[in-house]
Amino acid sequence: MTKIKENSTFNANREIVLNECPVTYVMNKIGGHWKPIILYHLLEGSKRYSEIKRAMPHITEKMLIQHLKQLEADNLLVREAKPVVPPFVTYTLTEAGKELETVIEEMAKWAYKDIQRQMPEPVAKI
């Protein structure tokens, strides 16, 4: 990921938008395809990297590592590495991450309702 200079115009504009729109702020933290799914799986409790990867078979290792690092940088999860061989690393939601539970659950509820709306009417038997 490219580092943005602290005093760049892009960074200044980003700060203005984030301060004026809370939805933009949230989407900056949890937006994208994979972050909400990672958070969803961690709502069940702490997980090792391999457990997260197994729960999300379509994500590449690079993307999973990248998103875990971003979620950690945004203080939504904590990475705990124990100094053993082989490495034992677990990921756990922080308080801020746990507070997203209602948001993630509401997204899931909406998805189930929308899927039902998209389903064609059952064909009546003749």
85 in a domain, yes or no? Answer: yes
pTM of the model: 0.77
Please, are residues 108 and 124 in contact by the beta-carbon 8 Å criterion? Answer: no
Would 11 be classed as within a structural domain? no
Fill in the amino acid letter for 37. Answer: I
Residue pLDDT, tens place only, 28-79: 899 999 999 999 999 999 999 999 999 999 999 999 999 999 999 999 999 9
DSSP code of residue 1: -
Query: Does the residue 61 lie in any domain?
Result: yes
Closest Cα partner for 39 from 104, 90, 102? Answer: 104
114 found inside a domain: yes
As a whole number of angstroms, the distance between CA 103 and CA 97 comes to 10
How many domains are there within the chain? 1
* Residue ranges making up the domain that contains 55: 31-118
